[in-house]
Amino acid sequence: MIFLRLFLTFSKIGLFNFGGGYAMLSFIQNEVVVKNNWLNNAEFTDIVAISQMTPGPIGINAATYTGYTAVVNDAAMQSLCIAHPSLICLLGILGAIVATLSVVWLPFIVMILVSKAILKHKDSIVTHSIFGTLRPAIVGLLASAVLVLLCNINYCQLHHFFSAAYNYGINSATFGSLAQSKVQFFLSIGIFVSILVGTIRCRWNLIYAILGSGIVGGIVYGVFGF
């Protein structure tokens, strides 16, 4: 049943969500896009953008969005709601609630159980050694999340990167395709570089940066029709 699958999947995501949502983007993407097909790559990329402008971490935002979408698009749920089409919306909300609660309940219990021990032994050599080895692992997870968003293929290999950039777009859901639309591709690259430099060198506000990118995209694609 779809609700049980949501519960088990997001309980697993919540339990192993070390380093925050962005560190676990590749894990979340693998569960909701590759294994369960609840979202496609474009929808998953949208979650990342929307999470910057909405309260809460990306793991919870992804759970809420995925829970609703998975239930609404589930064939079994749709067949149950043939006589009452409005019921599918309520079931979708229930799916969002189940997925959201599933992603937080295990970390909540674990933190209650281990927080006292961590505070008691926070200055020990063992504790420092554990956290010292976790930090580079989290950096690696963040790097894999960048590749997931940049590349059309999941966990892509480096030698595929440039060929994918030309033939399919670095990620057709993120940058568009150079072979299909040069305007969209180069505009996307320009926005990417501007946001990267602006946030690192000029410390732009992330919310304003995303809103500004949306306005630019609306003007170029909506008004000029590119």
User: Average pLDDT, whole number, for the chain?
Assistant: 78
CA dihedral (12, 13, 14, 20) positive or negative = positive
Q: Give per-residue burial for 19-56: e unless 16+ CB within 10 Å, then b.
A: bebbbbbbbbbbbbbeeeebbebeebbebbeebeeeee
Residue 48 has φ and ψ, to the nearest 5°, of -60, -40
Quick one: what percent of the chain has pLDDT higher than 90? 15
**Length of the chain (residues):** 226
pLDDT of residue 176: 60
Q: How much is the pTM?
A: 0.67
pLDDT at 168 over 70: no
The pLDDT-based confidence of 4 (bands split at 50, 70, 90) is: very high
Among 48-52, 125-129, 208-212, which stretch is predicted with the lowest mean pLDDT?
Answer: 48-52
Q: What type of residue sits at position 181?
A: S
Mean pLDDT of 61-77: 89
Of 146, 186, 191, 194, the closest CA to residue 165 belongs to 186
pLDDT at 31 over 70: yes
pLDDT of residue 99: 93
